[in-house]
Structure 1
Amino acid sequence: MEIYLIRHTTPDIEYGTCYGFTDLDLAASFPEEAARAKQFLPVAPLEVYSSPLIRCSKLATFLFGEPFKTDARLKELNFGEWEMQRWDDLGENALQVWMNDYVHARIPGGESYEDLYQRSIAAFLEIVATGKNAAIVAHGGVIRAILSYVTNTPLEKSFDIRVEYGRVSKLLVTADKIEVAFFNQ
């Protein structure tokens, strides 16, 4: 079984803005970035799962057409009260408290990275259980969580896994293991 993890392309938002659950569109570079991602995908049909947010569903439509399945568990981290604020405006103390334990610390009105991990892995394991070749179009946090799970990387070290906009990673699933075939192509 093959599973392709595809991060959405560059969002249309000013650099330095905190966003996660916010439903943003994609930057003008979308067609070029999406076409680049498409070259790393097989021609054979895949079961397609996407975050319901437009930055993922738009890419899923471009790459695979419709219909495809959306799953709210594939959404990015919920930044709660921090959504759409500039990182610089959050205040050093608030940001530092979160950075000291971003795995477990919940953002006010939002969630922790552990929360995102639990929901993302639950969705991922359901997809694996189908036994069908699949594509997951999602966000950096979700893909990082899945790659952390597959590679047995502790969540505290998972931000060392860089997941670039519009990049594709491929997982191979056998009866006894899941391994990364290629990463961030």
Structure 2
Amino acid sequence: MRIFLVRHGQTAANESGLFYGSTDVPLTPLGVEQSTRVAGLLAQVSFSAALTSQLQRAQHTAQLIVPLAERDPRLNEMDFGRWEMRHFSSIAAEEPDAWQLWVDDWQNATPGDGEAFPRFAERVRAVADELSLRQEPGDMLIVAHQGVLSLLLTRWLGMPTASLWHFPFKQDAYTMVENRDGFMVLRAFNDRSPFRSDE
């Protein structure tokens, strides 16, 4: 099985550099354009399954690529609590102690009384482990968020959780991982070339 990972297109909050994990914001016109471009790159792929988060930015991106996608709440981005829709500079100025705690120990601190990172990582790892056990042939599409996709990838590649920062997913590209009897191989990362079905 080949698994194609796609990050949702641009949103206004994304463009402004705001924390917006659980906030359900739509794509910008550029975000629609980016997602449409990815759909063109994957036009030759016949997806037998597709998964997306429950958030509209991921669902809209998925709809531009495939007719239907199953929604899985475990693929939702991390909830930043009261930090949602705020810029890091205002958080650092208004909540300096909480901000510094998160900067120093982001894997254990809970941002803005939102979702604790260990809980977020646990639900994403559960999806990763389930997919690594699937052996049927075919191609799967997953449309989700930066944090989710990078955690999936680090889990599949057997890397430490902190390695997620090494995988900045672009919003106009696709990544492909091949499941070889549970051994996951990264075949393409942030690819912007048309995928040929015979690859």
Calculate the TM-score normalised by the size of structure 1.
0.91
Deviations 1:79-130 (A, max 9, x none): 0111112211112332221011111211232123332221112123223434
- Residue 44 (structure 1) aligned to one of 43, 46, 58: 46
TM-fit CA distance, 1:35: 2.5
| SS of aligned partner of 1:178 | strand
Amino acid at match of 1:55: R
Q: 1:175 aligns with which of 173, 178, 181?
A: 181
- Give the match for residue 90 of structure 1: 91
Give the equivalent residue in structure 2 for 1:131: 135
- 1:116 matched to 2:117? The reply is no
Give the whole-Å Cα distance in 2 for the aligned partners of 1:113 and 1:104: 6
After TM superposition, give the deviation of residue 51 of structure 1 in Å. Answer: 0.3
Higher mean alpha-carbon deviation, 69-78 vs 92-101, is at: 92-101
What SS does the aligned partner of 2:12 have? Answer: coil
Which residue matches 2:196? none
Q: 2: CA distance between counterparts of 1:157 and 1:129?
A: 23
Mapped partners of 1:96, 1:184: distance in 2 = 32
Do residues 141 (structure 1) and 147 (structure 2) align?
Answer: yes
CA contact (8 A) 1:75 1:142 kept: yes
What is the distance in 2 between the residues matched to 1:57 and 1:180?
24
The superposition leaves residues 25-77 of structure 1 with CA deviations (integer Å, 9 ceiling, x where unpaired) of: 011113321122124424323300000100000011111012x2100000011
Which residue of 59, 62, 74 corresponds with 1:60? 62
Counterpart check, 1:160 vs 2:166: yes
Q: Aligned residue for 2:195?
A: none
1:74 matched residue in structure 2 = 75
Contact residue 16 and residue 88 of structure 1 kept, 8 A: no
Q: CA RMSD in A?
A: 1.7
Cα 1:177/1:99, change in 2 over 3 Å: same
Partner Cα distance (1:161, 1:105) in 2: 22
Question: Could you tell me how far apart the structure 2 residues matched to 1:26 and 1:149 are?
Answer: 28
Percent of aligned positions that are identical: 27
Letter in 1 for 2:58: C
CA distance in 1, matches of 2:25, 2:39: 21
Structure 1 residues 112 and 19, CA gap change in structure 2 (3 angstroms): same
Shifted more, 69-78 versus 115-124: the winner is 115-124
Unaligned runs of 5+ in 1: none
The answer for unaligned runs of 5 or more in structure 2 is 192-199
Aligned-residue offset at 1:182: 0.4
Q: Which amino acid aligns with 1:118?
A: E
Q: How many residues align?
A: 184
Aligned equivalents of 2:111 and 2:32: distance in 1?
34
* d(CA) in 2 for partners of 1:102, 1:3: 29
Question: Normalization by structure 2: what TM-score?
Answer: 0.85
